[in-house]
Chain A
Amino acid sequence: MTRLITGTALAAIMTMSAGSAFAQTELRIFTGGQQRPDVMRQILDAYQEQNPDVTVEIEVGGATSEQQQQYLNTVLASQDSTLDVVLIDVIRPAQWAAAGWAEPLDEYLGDERDAIMDRYLPAYREANIVDGAVMALPYFADSQFLYYRTDLLEKHGVEPPKTWDELKAAALKIQEAEGNPNLAGFLTAGAPIEGTVCTYLVPYWGAGGELGGEGGAITLSAEQAAQPFELWGDFKEAGVLPANIAEIPTDRIRQDFQAGNAIFAMNWGYVWNRVQNDEDSQVKGNVGVVTLPGFTADTPATCIGGWQLAVSAFSENKEAAVELVKYLSSPEVSKQQAILASHMPVFPDVYTDAEVLEANPWFEDALPVVETARSRPVTPAYPRVSEVIRTNMNAFLAGTQDGAASLQAIEQGLSEVMQ
């Protein structure tokens, strides 16, 4: 219906403007509120200057990955053509490919396809190619790191921890010495949201767990599956995790850390720019970033994140949209994002760029972390997988369900996902 109306309207406009020399192309790009639309606007302004026949409008969606996808699900299920380019989470390309929502880019890239794809970090090349077809191009990379307060660690003579045990000991020592009841030892996502999936997977992978299964089913390694519950249960009991951990979503971690209310926090790359540059930041200049701890010092693990640019299969300006996507996925834009928003580059070379390093000194050690970060399960039914893990992790962190029951519920839920 919408397509019909827009189609008719478009035809009318085209007939009317057939005489004018200049055909203006209007593109609409969708992004999340947390992915710095302000920085995207700056980048798009530059693009519009170079391409005066194109104007790009930004539509800003919800704050979390699921809220954005809920909205996109309704738009795309009705085959609405209003969006041309959509910024999607790294966990989505498989679902988008299955549903037929993303325009495969292979034909548009033509002979350049392999050359273009080879420039990216391998993880992002793989994440965006589904069954041999390029479904999207990466916008920025991401993975989870350990943020810590350099001032507090120095004051109490503590080194940045390399293991969870060290982290617990350090947090307890500092919490006790500071005597501030509002100072959390460690923060990670605990609310029933996407980020909480990583709260489960990081220690699971760290302990050596693998995600197995065939034909879309997902299974957990029996030995390691209970480890995350033991770890977080222990942290909560010791008071390292705050009592309200089950109501904390991703950006809340950043806000609490930025307000000086946490010693350690597990979070994504964007936090750096905010804590160092936001006017209300209480911890400016007192923040360090290192690889997440492991159960032993040499077995850290982290979740891979990042955002991809997909061209909607229902767009009426696919050619122009692909051109825009190619530009936004270029090394120049990657560098700009790194400087303006501490968004991690998708090209290995950009990590060693002098200007990028000046803005983000910790990028020097970040490349190996991104290169070894792990993917959440790749399946069209990912929303169900995610819901099973995050809901039970949330119930566990809230204390309403013990570790054994949570694990059983997760395994049961995962076995039902593809039914």
Chain B
Amino acid sequence: MLTSTTKPLPLSRLEKSERRLGLLMILPAFLLLFAVVLFPIGRLLVTSTQQLRLTEPWLGTPFIGLAHYQKALTDPRFWETTLNTFIYIAVTVPGAIVVGLGLALLANQPFKVKWPVRLGLLLPWALPLVFAGLIFRWFFEFNQGIVNNILMWVGLPKLAWLTDPFLATIAICIAIIWKTSSFVALILLAGLQTIPKSLYEAAEIDGASKWQQFIEITLPMLRPAIIVAAIFRTITAIQTFDIPYAMTNGGPGNSTETLAMYIHKTTIDFLDLGYGSALAVLMFVVSLVMTAGYLRYTRRDPRQEA
């Protein structure tokens, strides 16, 4: 703006053209967002109210209202896969934060050579999810897997890691925590480095132990970073797909299938795009509700502190 007017005067020609230019400048970004975010979401909502099965194209795409949502709510598999997804959230979000915090504290130590620890932090994060899933599947394989090798080596019986529902869930959670804790660690490490050294020096003088310093200084100061990490981790946990897909493909039976895997199966394998879209909308709602909860908490935060 060239002039800042307080009175609501009609805009000059210059201002008008400035405004047009401004709108023109944001147009590409808006179009891109529209094309890759708004349009697909709108399309998803529309499809979820239509019958759309590519296996039976002659049925057409009639509007069927909320019938798919009704079906989902009485579909036992929707509830089972949602429950499985919540189990992964409940285990892997805290798990990744605890492990990630440990890694971040380790990386924050004044080692002379810092790069090995930092590389170790980055590698699991940089690895594609499916690769991580495949690697852990080999680890947990019954005959050739290294985990069972170790069990036998110490004289324990081999375990059916991938074909027992309980053990398979544990194996998948271990893989997810390994894969995602490095991302959490990166966020927490950044948080750790913003804590002023003087706080620790003062605590030292007051005679606080290392543990007390951790509880009284590190954790409270890290809280915003932990919340950010928890939000990101929760959103990705809701979408858990790749690692169980590669490790068990949902088996044995459907016992390790997540909601995202059920959506994939319905849409890509069964080609029922209508029902798959409705399931995807429901997953979106779950994501929205969970993140909204976190966001309320973060908004309340500064006022409390003030």
Q: A interface vs B, CB < 8 Å?
A: 66, 69-70, 73-74, 77, 95, 98-100, 182, 191-193, 242-244, 246-247, 380-381, 383-384, 387, 391-392, 394-395, 397-401
Contact = CB atoms under 8 A, between A and B. Distances in A.
Contacts of A193: 249
Contact of A77 (B54, B249, B252): B54
B143 A191 contact: no
Contact of A247 (B141, B158, B250, B268): B141
A279 to B, nearest CB: 20
Contacts of A74: 268
B143 A400 contact: no
B209 to A, nearest CB: 49
A92 to B, nearest CB: 11
A320 to B, nearest CB: 27
18 contacts: A69-B269, A70-B268, A73-B269, A99-B54, A99-B271, A243-B142, A244-B163, A247-B163, A381-B55, A383-B270, A387-B270, A391-B253, A394-B252, A395-B252, A395-B254, A398-B251, A399-B252, A400-B165
A140 B32 CA distance: 47
Contacts of A380: 55-56
B255 interface: yes
Interface of B: 54-57, 141-143, 158, 160, 162-165, 249-255, 265, 268-271
B251 A391 contact: yes
A401 B253 contact: yes
A192 B249 contact: yes
Contact of B253 (A66, A73, A100, A398): A398
B249 A191 contact: yes
A70 B266 CA distance: 11
B163 A392 contact: no
Contacts of B142: 242-244, 247
A244 B252 contact: no
Contacts of B160: 243-244, 246, 398
Contact of B271 (A191, A192, A383): A383
B57 A98 contact: yes
Tell me the dominant secondary structure on chain B's binding face.
Answer: loop
Contacts of B265: 387
A182 B143 contact: yes
B247 to A, nearest CB: 10
B268 to A, nearest CB: 5
B268 A95 contact: no
Tell me the dominant secondary structure on chain A's binding face.
Answer: helix
A237 B233 CA distance: 43
A394 B55 contact: no
Contacts of A400: 164-165, 252-253, 255
Contacts of A182: 143
B47 to A, nearest CB: 12
A66 B252 contact: no
A391 B270 contact: no
A247 B162 contact: yes
Given A99-B55, A380-B55, A391 B254 contact: yes
Query: Which of A69, A74, A399, A400 counts the most B-chain CB atoms under 10 A from its CB?
Result: A400
Query: Which of B253, B268, B270 counts the most A-chain CB atoms under 10 A from its CB?
Result: B253
A392 B251 CA distance: 10
A246 B163 contact: yes
A233 B182 CA distance: 43
A66 B55 contact: no
A394 B255 CA distance: 11
A392 B250 CA distance: 12
Query: Which of A69, A242, A395, A401 counts the most B-chain CB atoms under 10 A from its CB?
Result: A395
Nearest to A256: B143
Nearest to B272: A384
A384 B53 CA distance: 12
Query: Which of A244, A381, A384, A395 counts the most B-chain CB atoms under 10 A from its CB?
Result: A244
A149 B69 CA distance: 54
Given A244-B160, A247-B142, A247-B162, A384 B270 contact: yes
Contact of B163 (A77, A381, A391, A398): A398
Contacts of B163: 244, 246-247, 397-399
Ranked nearest first, the 9 interchain pairs of A and B with the lowest CB-CB distance are: A395-B253, A398-B252, A244-B142, A246-B163, A398-B163, A192-B251, A380-B55, A383-B269, A400-B252
A248 to B, nearest CB: 9
Contacts of B269: 66, 69-70, 73, 383, 387
